[in-house]
Structure 1
Amino acid sequence: MTPPPLMPINAHGGEWARYEAALYDVFVRDIIRHDLRFRGIQVNARRIPEHERKWACFWHMISEGSVEDDRIPDMRRCERLSQVRWIIENADAVEVIDIWEQTREREKNWVLWYEEFYLVVLAHRSGYYLLKTAFCTDRDHQVRKFRKERDAYYAGGG
């Protein structure tokens, strides 16, 4: 099983507006309108606060930054947006997707880590999962941190 191909900006003429529209179309198709499930349970996305009439979750998956209105597009995140649905739906079937439960403060999340490079975070909610974000783990300290977290989870019988 292989993931969908990357979506580079140059496939859209290198024009950000066209690329952003294509990315949002993928987000709507794969996340909002698709019956997306992880382990049989519905996966939803956060809509509010919308920015430029696009859902909050979309912005978190294609950009980075701590201030909502000042987030900066991350081309690596953008290129991989079409892989989010595939990772969620195939997490238990694909060997190169590591899965573990993570606790951040009082929130429990499932972490899906594809090839130790692209990470998808699903938060536990009552009766569903909330797709929080997806991002590349391309910094050495990030990889070490997530390996340690994953390995501790598996060592504990997870």
Structure 2
Amino acid sequence: MPLPDLLPFSGDWSSYEDDLYRTYLSGIVNANLSFNGLPIKCQYRPSSKNKHFGFWHVISEGNVEDDRLPDLRRCERIRWIAYLIAYAGTDTEISWWENKRGSNTHVVIWHERENFAVILAKRSDFYLLKSAYCAQSHRKKMFIKEREEFWGGYKG
């Protein structure tokens, strides 16, 4: 099944940011997404520029919240997030596995050919959308290793 169309930047950042946010709200926040039978939730607070905290984590990058910079590759792929969640494990190009980051369990949903990943934090009765991004080459190697360790060599 083909991936959803990209949402390309048209040159007007303010309008594009509003389009991205509308897409985020309709396609992710209000779409009743679920994974492995549990709902997907998004982090609303602390909000910034009247937009949800989680929104900034799927369209921008950086370690310091107030200094995150928009990443056009993330932005244009915002429609892919719901698709990857919905088709994880059923589309042969989309694999998923769990990993540990400190004491937290995360789920990585990865479209290997496009090298695009969605990260969910596992909670007791839901998953929290943490981020989505195009993986760098060093992360691709780590993803393959983690997936093989989780699935015992099987591409889940």
Output one character per residue of 1:77-125: Cα deviation in whole Å (capped at 9) or x when no partner.
0010011011101112101011101111111111100125100011111
**Counterpart for residue 30 of structure 2:** 33
**Counterpart for residue 49 of structure 2:** 52
TM-score (ref. length: structure 1): 0.92
1:143 offset after TM fit, Å?
1.2
**Counterpart for residue 9 of structure 2:** 9
1: CA distance between counterparts of 2:152 and 2:31? 35
1: CA distance between counterparts of 2:19 and 2:26? 11
Q: Which of the two has greater helix per residue?
A: 1
2: CA distance between counterparts of 1:58 and 1:64? 11
1:156 offset after TM fit, Å?
6.8
Worse-matched range after superposition: 142-151 or 49-58 = 142-151
Q: Count matched residues.
A: 154
**Counterpart for residue 118 of structure 1:** 116
**Counterpart for residue 137 of structure 2:** 140
2: CA distance between counterparts of 1:140 and 1:4? 23
Q: Are positions 1:73 and 2:92 aligned together?
A: no
Question: Which ranges in structure 1 are unaligned for 5 or more consecutive residues?
Answer: none
CA root-mean-square deviation: 1.4
SS of aligned partner of 1:81: coil
**Counterpart for residue 150 of structure 2:** 153
Identity of aligned residues (%): 40
1:58 offset after TM fit, Å?
0.5
2: CA distance between counterparts of 1:67 and 1:140? 23
2: CA distance between counterparts of 1:32 and 1:155? 33
SS of aligned partner of 1:9: coil
**Counterpart for residue 91 of structure 1:** 88
Question: Which ranges in structure 2 are unaligned for 5 or more consecutive residues?
Answer: none
2: CA distance between counterparts of 1:141 and 1:40? 32
SS of aligned partner of 2:79: helix
TM-score (ref. length: structure 2): 0.93
2: CA distance between counterparts of 1:46 and 1:55? 7
SS of aligned partner of 1:113: strand
1:128 offset after TM fit, Å?
0.6
